[in-house]
Homo-oligomer: A and B are copies of this chain.
Amino acid sequence: MLVRLLIKFFQFILGKKRINRIAINFLANRGPNRPHAWSTLNDDYISWQGLTDRSYFSRLLSAGKFSQDDALGTARPPVDEVIKLFPAEPGKQVLSKKSTNLFPAFAQYLTDGFLRTMIFNAPADGEDASPKDDRKRTTSNHEIDLSTLYGRTARQTAVLRSMNGGKLKSQILHGEEFSPYLYDEAGKPHKEFCDDAGKLILDEPLGIKDISSGKPTLFAVGGDRVNAAVQVMAINTLFLREHNRLADLLAARYPDWEDERLFQIARNIVIFMFIRIVICEYINHISSVPINFLADPSVAWKANWNRPSWMTIEFTLLYRWHSLVTETITWKGQSIPSTDLLLNNKLLTDHGLVGTFVQLSANPSAKMGLGNFAAFLQSIEQKGILQGRDNNVRGYNDYRKIMGLSRARSFEEVVGVSTADEPAEKARRKKLAENLKRLYGDVNNLEFYVGLFAEPSSNDGPIPQLALAMVAMDAFTQAFPNPLLSEHVWGNEENRIKAFSQIGQEQIEATNSLEDILKRVSKGTNGQFVGMTQENWEPS
C-alpha cells in the first residue's frame, strides 16, 4: 500500500512519462544486456558460430556442469518423478482471481511468434524421419514481427497475400471474414500454399498428424501453432481483419499506391499496434506495480539495452505458461473440456469472432504454479524439463542472483510457506517444499524450470517473482528495439510517415487493447466484456 502511494506521489511530481522511462529502464537493466557471450551451440567455449548463428538460442548464463545420472537428491532427479509435481488434483484446479482466459490466449499467440524451438511434426509411418526436433535450436526471426499472421519467410508471406489492394487472403464464413482454409475436404493442402512439388510452403500445423475430424476447419496462416487452439486463432483472425481493414483505408486515402506499398504499410501499422497491445494491455495486466506502462518508443533510444533481440533459452523456458490453461472452459453456459478447442476452428466460425472473444473474457484462467496444471498438458511439461536439461541450463538460484534477487536458502523459502495467507494454502506449500527437498536434496540443486513455477503467484499479479522479473526484462528489451520503433523510423517525423503514413500513425495511436481493434472489425461488442483482467474483482 505504501509503495502504491509512493509511486502515485512520484508520478505526480515527475510526470507519467518520466516515471515510465525510469521504471522500464530499471526493469530492462536487471540482467545482463545483449550481445550475450554464450549460445546453446557450445557449452565449453565461445566460438564465432556461437556468436553469430541465430538458429541457436542465446543464453543469459553460460551452461552449468551436470552429471547425467537421474538420481534423487541431485540437480537432475528422475523426470518421471519431477513431472508429478505439475498436475492439479482432478477437479481441484485453482482459478485466477485476476486473469481471464484471454490472457493465456494472447500469451500463447505472442510467444508462438518468436519462441520457436525447432520442432517438426513427428513423421508418419514410412516417411523420412528427418528433419528431427532439436531443442538447442530455433526457427525464430527473433523479432515481434507477427510471423503468426505474415509467415516467417518472404515465400510464406507471398502465398498468404492476395496480391490485390495490399490484402491478405481471406474468406467469408457466416458473413464474417476468416483466413482461407488450408486443406480441401479430402485433407490435401490447397495448391496455392504449396510449391511446384506439392510441398507446403507454409509451416504445417503442429500436431496435424494426430487429428482427423478438425482438419478441414484449419486455416492457412503464418504460424504453425495458430491452428492449435480456437483461442489463438481468434486473435490471429482479429489481426487478419485489421490488416485488411487498414489496407482498404490506405487505398482510399492514397489511391495511387499499388498493392505492394499498401501491403507493406498496413503490415508496419499492424506490427506496431500489436506491440502497443503487448505493452499497454498485456504487460500492464501482468504487472503487479501500480504503474501504467506506456508504449513510448523514446525510452529505448539512448538505452544501453537497446540491442537487437536474440531469443535466449531461458526466455523460451520461463515463458511456458501452460499452467494458466484450464481443464475446462464454460462456453455459452456449457462446461466443455479445453481439449475440445484444440486443432478445430469450428467453434470460432460457429460463434463468430465477437462471440469467441466474449466467451474467453468470461472465463477465468488457471492460477500459475506447480500442482495446478491441466492434466492433458503433462507430456508438454515434460518437454520443458528436458529442454532445460538438454541445454544444461543452470539452476534456479543462479538466475535469482543474476536478476538481483536473493538466493533462496530453503525450499520453504522458494514456495513461500511463510507468506501463505490461509492454513490450507500453507499446508499445500509445505507439502510442495517437502516434495522438492525429496527430489533435489539441496535448494541449490533446484532446476530453473521447476523453480520458476514452484514460487507462489499472488492475487494481484499472475506471474511469480523470478519469472516476472525475467519476463519484464525480456519483454521490454525485445519490444522496444524493434526496428519500426527506432529513433530513425518512429522518432523521425519524415520517416515515420514513410513507414506508417499519416492515417496509419493515427490508427496506431488509437489502439491500446484488443477490444479497440475488435470493435473496428466487427459489428461491435454490444456492451459485452472483452479483456484480460476480470471485471468486478478488487485486490484484497
Contacts and interface: CB of A to CB of B under 8 A. Distances in A.
B37 A267 contact: no
A537 interface: no
A49 B261 CA distance: 12
Interface string A489-518: 100100100110000000000000000000
A46 B271 contact: no
A44 interface: yes
Contact of A37 (B44, B141, B499): B499
A35 interface: yes
A145 interface: yes
Given A44-B261, A52-B145, A499-B46, A37 B268 contact: no
Contacts of A261: 44-45
Nearest to A41: B264
A45 B264 contact: yes
A297 interface: no
Interface stretch (A281-289, A301-309, A450-458): A301-309
A132 interface: no
Interface in A120-160: 141, 143, 145, 154
A147 to B, nearest CB: 11
B498 A45 contact: yes
Given A37-B489, A483-B35, A265 B49 contact: no
A33 to B, nearest CB: 8
Interface in A66-123: none
A154 B264 contact: no
Contacts of A53: 154
A36 interface: yes
Given A483-B35, A495-B37, A499-B37, A48 B271 contact: yes
B483 A45 contact: no
Contact of A35 (B38, B265, B488): B488
Interface string A465-502: 00000000000000000011010110010010011000
A267 B48 contact: yes
A486 B35 contact: yes
Given A37-B499, A499-B46, A483 B52 contact: yes
Given A46-B498, A308-B308, 12 more contacts: A35-B308, A35-B486, A36-B488, A37-B486, A37-B489, A37-B498, A46-B499, A48-B145, A48-B268, A48-B271, A52-B143, A62-B498
23 contacts: A32-B488, A35-B486, A35-B488, A37-B486, A37-B492, A37-B498, A37-B499, A42-B264, A45-B499, A46-B268, A46-B489, A46-B495, A46-B499, A48-B264, A48-B267, A48-B268, A49-B154, A51-B483, A51-B484, A52-B141, A53-B154, A302-B304, A308-B308
